[in-house]
């Protein structure tokens, strides 16, 4: 857009590039609005450590670790509404 303005000051090229740029901006804004997803929940290190400690406690009491971890994953999916 700047080059066409400097090189000969051709108004047609300037308007074409300007219109194309404006149209691209509108398309990007619309695409962002349509595809917007939910924000990711804030990750809490303290909560993650407490959950890991509880899993370790369950495993020490004889629970299967994979089953305990799958229970945590299923619980997170249930809270987020994911099936």
Domain boundaries, given as residue ranges, for the chain = 2-34, 45-80
CB-based burial, 22-42: b 16+ in 10 Å, e otherwise: eeeeeeeeeeeeeeeeeeeee
- How do residues 43-79 score in pLDDT, each as one tens digit? 778 888 898 999 999 999 999 999 999 999 998 888 8
pLDDT tens-digit profile of 1-30?
A: 667 667 777 778 778 888 999 999 999 999
Span 37-42, mean pLDDT? Answer: 67
The pTM of the full predicted model, rounded to 2 decimals, is 0.45
């Amino acid at each position: 857009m700047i080059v066409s303005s400097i090189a000969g000051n051709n108004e047609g090229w300037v308007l074409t590039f300007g219109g194309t740029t404006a149209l691209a901006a509108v398309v990007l804004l619309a695409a962002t609005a349509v595809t917007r997803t939910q924000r990711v929940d804030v990750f809490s290190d303290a909560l993650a450590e407490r959950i890991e400690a509880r899993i370790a406690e369950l495993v020490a009491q004889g629970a299967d670790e994979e089953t305990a971890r799958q229970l945590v994953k299923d619980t997170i999916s249930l809270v987020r509404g994911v099936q």
